[in-house]
Structure 1
Amino acid sequence: MIPTITAFERSPDGGKGLARDTRVRWALEEAGQPYNVRLVSFQAMKEPAHLRLHPFGQIPTYEEGDLALFETGAIVFHIAQRHPVLLPDDGHARARAITWMFAALSTIEPPILELVTAKFQEGDKPWTPERLPLVMDRIRRRLDQLSARLGNADWLDGAFSAGDLLMVSVLLRLRPSGLLDEFPSLAAYVARGEARPAYKRAFEAQLAVFTGQPPAG
């Protein structure tokens, strides 16, 4: 059965691949799994039909038969479990890949989202000039730790996995801030993720929603 995911009818990121449906699209593309997309407006996201799928009125959601999921990490984990290309066969390596999935969403992403909030949602608040440097320093500490762990490796733990997929997706949010450029190994790591054909297909599909043009190829 072909799954259906939801995505913004009009993405606030302007088609830059930062909306979370891109992460799910990327996982499905890596798995070679066809999928359908149902676009939802901001109004529709708050209506009962969508809230039955996502109680917090967000995207993406994932439907496959009588299974309905929300939360990007849970959706990517479900896809990875179904398609071994995203998780190693070896039990220990698999557990480590899953650990990196959690690390991306629970350790690396929160301070990055705090920066987004401080700059764009609370940028006019009187405390913002003092808060921003503190938030950026917290991000730098995490990036320094992540860079040290990655070292000269291509991926976090051997072959590319769902852990890398989520980590690259999270780090992409830093590009506008310039912080990623302070860590060349991480910038190269993100570039390797973006160079993957599956990521390119996912990005182009999300961009096509914004531009109204079909994906290339």
Structure 2
Amino acid sequence: MYTLVTLRSVPDFAVGYVRDLRVRWAMEEAGQPYSVKTIGPDEQISSTYRQQQPFGQVPLLLDGEQSIFESGAILRHLGDKLGLMPSGERERQLAEMWLYAALNSVEPYFGAFAELDVFHAGEAWVEARRPGLEAMAKRRLGDLEGWLSGCEYLAGTFSVADIMMSTVLRLLESSGLMEQFPAVSAYQARCMARPAYARAMAAQVALYSAEKAAA
């Protein structure tokens, strides 16, 4: 049995965006049962948890005797174990490259742009910084547009790369930028329409709704 370790509670704005969503989605795509263990600030700084997750973050996946941290590493692990990587050698290579590209070449820029309004709304420096970050986000969307204009999913068939990329794209949901890139918008709509995504999101929302109600 897999155990997903995640946060016990988060601020309202973070519900639906905690990165355990990526792991939940992979499990749901494969029809794989899993249990959930929640932790709070005290556990996060404990020496026991830091031996499994040196940064005290989530998600953490427990797979038998193995503990795996970082959502990208977890998805790569589950991709093989749960059949969420393509079967062809070239397609597998593409899926792996796009998994890492989502984290390294795309997420930092989308995240920085999204944070302007989430964490820094009204601060004097924001409007001076916005044009540069918006330009970089559009550049990356343009890069994705070129690739996705010729394929349904990043590596041909749906894989963990698409779980990662589409969760990264969600950072721009309220920005209006994606609508300027039709292939990216269509790709995101396909990913978001998958039943496994809906189940994963519902599970995360249910966890934090129950925690809030009990507080």
TM norm. shorter chain > 0.5: yes
* Closer/same/farther in 2, CA of residues 43 and 181 from structure 1, 3 Å limit: farther
In structure 2, distance between residues paired with 1:92 and 1:67: 28
Secondary structure (helix, strand or coil) at the match of 1:212 reads helix
Deviation at residue 125 of structure 1 after TM alignment: 4.4
Q: Distance in 2 between matches of 1:16 and 1:191?
A: 20
Match of 2:135 among 130, 133, 137: 137
Aligned to 1:87: 85
Q: Does 1:100 align with 2:98?
A: yes
* Distance across 2 between alignment mates of 1:79 and 1:13: 29
Aligned residues: 211
Rate the CA distance shift 1:147–1:13 in 2: closer, same or farther, 3 A.
farther
1:40-189 matched pairs, under 5 angstroms = 40-84=39-83, 86-123=84-121, 125-151=123-149, 153-189=151-187
- Root mean square deviation of aligned Cα: 1.9
Letter in 1 for 2:171: R
- Aligned residue identity for 2:81: R
- The TM-score, its normalising length taken from structure 2, stands at 0.90
Which whole-Å CA distance do the structure 2 matches of 1:89 and 1:185 have between them? Answer: 25
SS in 1 for 2:137: helix
| Identity among equivalent pairs (%) | 36
Whether the 8 Å contact between 2:94 and 2:154 is mirrored in structure 1 is no
How big is the shift at 1:212?
A: 1.7
Amino acid at match of 2:24: R
* TM-score normalised according to structure 1 size: 0.89
Structure 2 distance, partners of 1:15, 1:125, is 21
Do the aligned residues in 2 keep the contact of 1:73 with 1:105 (CA within 8 Å)? yes
| 1:46–1:178 CA distance, 2 compared to 1 (3 A) | farther
Q: Distance in 2 between matches of 1:147 and 1:157?
A: 14
1:9 alignment partner in structure 2: 8
Shift of 1:16: 4.6
CA distance in 1, matches of 2:186, 2:208: 27
Aligned residues of 1:15 and 1:207 also touching (Cα < 8 A):
no
Consecutive unaligned residues of structure 2, counting only runs of 5 or more, are: none
**How far, CA to CA, are the matches of 2:174 and 2:42 in structure 1?**
28
Question: What runs of 5+ residues in structure 1 fail to find an aligned partner?
Answer: none
C-alpha separation between the residues in 2 aligned to 1:195 and 1:92? 27
Quote the offset at 1:179 in angstroms: 1.8
8 A Cα contact 1:15 1:208, kept in partner: no
Provide the C-alpha distance between the structure 2 equivalents of 1:128 and 1:205, rounded to a whole number of angstroms. 34
Structure 1, 148-157 or 168-177: larger mean CA deviation: 148-157
